[in-house]
Amino acid sequence: MTVPVRRLWVAVLCGYLAFGAALQALPSYVPATFGGGALASGTAVGIAFLATAAARPFAGWLADAGRSRPVVLAGGVLAAIGGLGQLLAPELWVLLVARLVMGAGEAALFSAALPWVLTGARMAQRGRLAGWFGLSMWGGLAGGPVIATLVDADGSSTVWWVVVGLSFVSVLLVLTTRSDRSRPEPLVRIRGVRDLVPVGVPLPGAIIGLAAYCYGTVAALLVLRLRADAIGVDDLALAVFAAAFLVVRFAGSPLVDRYGGRVVAAWTVAVEIVALTGIALASGPVGASVSTALAGVGLALVYPACVSLTLDRVRGLRPGVSMGVMTSFWDLGVLVAGPAGGFVAEQAGFRAAFLVAAGAGVACVVVLLRMPRRAASPR
């Protein structure tokens, strides 16, 4: 059966445009509506990734058994409910619960769609296809903040209605697709942690998790850092990041299949280290803009590189679960970056928070260089 790749691409894009718009709105919306500073805003941004980290392996497990369509559909519905909850939340804790719901929805949306799309793809083309399809998620995360800025930069109700509307568009697109398989396979029984965390996944997961800390610091604190020191360009910074990210992801994904995930990840994370150091030290709009663009370049190819590393190490077994777990490490990195970065910023300043993120990038490169090329065979 032909996989509806383009329709799924647009469905995931709409869901993540909603998620990205919420990321832009929250740093202003949380202090204005509930009070609190960088720690409260960082927690609100990061907590959604707790739910995504927990939900992705199960979404991949269901996708491997031919149940991608209902899982993707449920993801869109949960994203819409989460957006509505953030709009109507009377207290901060209610907003945090809504963020968890939205995070679970986004996890189901992408982590069940990607294995569906990769069905039947040759191993040599999976890095490129994953990179291209991943543009739907990362394009949404990058383009959503631009939409939020254009609609209403202060995070008022208009932004949240756009978030809900985009999520429902995602639902409608999935409703018009056919089932991913004519007859779903029986679900594999989960007997322990190893069934949800294949042996070849943790090291690529650690790599993408450390890179995610870098991204999470940018997502949660970049706007606040630029405003705190009156550098300017705070309304354009995430758009600059998005543009650089999307151009490099689109043009550079074939490099993963050509040179391998390890080489591509090492070079791009090295660029990210330079970028984060530049953001920390920037004193004017030009330096801040250049460093922000480099941050987008440095993160653009990390995901397809880690997909390639993961699939090489698990040798094609249970790709849905493997990629779901690997991507969960990304979510955990972003989750930690929000509150941890906010805490460092409140205690030592925003510059220190970005230097800590650069340190996470250094650790990422160390893991890459020391990682064995093949995973040990499970006993």
The answer to whether the beta carbons of residues 224 and 276 sit under 8 Å apart is no
Q: Is the pLDDT of residue 146 over 60?
A: yes
254: amino acid identity, one letter: P
Average pLDDT of 230-243?
82
Tell me which residue has tokens 């631009």. Answer: 146
Domain limits, the chain: 5-180+193-370
Is the Cβ–Cβ distance between 159 and 27 less than 8 Å?
Answer: no
What is the chain's mean pLDDT, rounded?
A: 83
Residues 6+ apart with CB under 8 A from 109: 11, 12, 15, 16, 72, 75, 76, 79, 170
Residue 85 CA to residue 370 CA, distance in Å, equals 44
pLDDT tens sequence across 310-349: 877 766 566 667 777 888 888 888 888 888 898 899 899 9
pLDDT digits 0-9 by tens, 101-142: 999 999 999 888 888 887 766 666 666 676 778 788 878 887
Please report, rounded to a whole number, the percentage of residues in the chain having pLDDT higher than 90.
33
The yes-or-no verdict on residue 170 having pLDDT over 70 is: yes
Q: How far is residue 354's CA from residue 341's CA, in Å, rounded to a whole number?
A: 8
Q: Would you state the structure tokens that stand for residue 276, as one six-digit string? A: 């984060």
Q: Which of 43-52, 120-129, 225-234, 282-291 has the lowest mean pLDDT?
A: 120-129
Mean pLDDT, to the nearest integer, of 217-227? 87
Residues 6+ apart with CB under 8 A from 209: 329, 330, 332, 333
HSE-CB at 262 with a 13 A cutoff on CA atoms is 12
Secondary structure (3-state) at 119? coil
* Position 376 pLDDT exceeds 50: no
Max CA separation in the chain (angstroms): 60
Q: Choose between 371 and 362: higher pLDDT.
A: 362
CA-angle at 350, arms to 148 and 86, nearest 5°: 35
d(CA 339, CA 344): 9
Q: Are 137 and 327 in contact (CB under 8 A)?
A: no
Indicate the SS3 state at residue 354.
Answer: helix
Is the distance from CB of 109 to CB of 101 less than 8 angstroms? no
- CA 3 from chain centre, in angstroms, equals 24
Give the span between the Cα atoms of 162 and 86, in whole angstroms: 12
**Measured between alpha carbons, how far is 341 from 177 in angstroms, rounded to an integer?**
41
Residue range 15-32: mean pLDDT, rounded: 87
Query: Which pLDDT band holds residue 378 (cuts at 50, 70, 90)?
Result: very low
**What's the burial of 6, exposed, middle or buried (CB within 10 Å: 0-12/13-18/19+)?**
exposed
**Each residue's pLDDT tens digit, 260-310:** 888 999 999 999 999 999 999 988 999 999 999 999 999 989 988 888 888
Distance, CA of 43 to chain centre: 16
> What's the CATH class of domain 5-180+193-370?
mainly alpha
Which distant-in-sequence residues (6+ apart) come within 8 Å of 11 by Cβ? 72, 76, 109, 113, 136, 169, 170, 173, 174
Which 8-state DSSP code applies to residue 348? H
End-to-end CA distance of the chain: 36
* Helix (H), strand (E) at residue 67: none
**198-217 average pLDDT score:** 87
What pLDDT score does 52 carry?
A: 86
Decide if pLDDT at 168 tops 80: yes
Which residue is associated with the tokens 């850092």? 225
Per residue in 57-77, pLDDT (tens digit) is 888 878 877 788 899 999 999
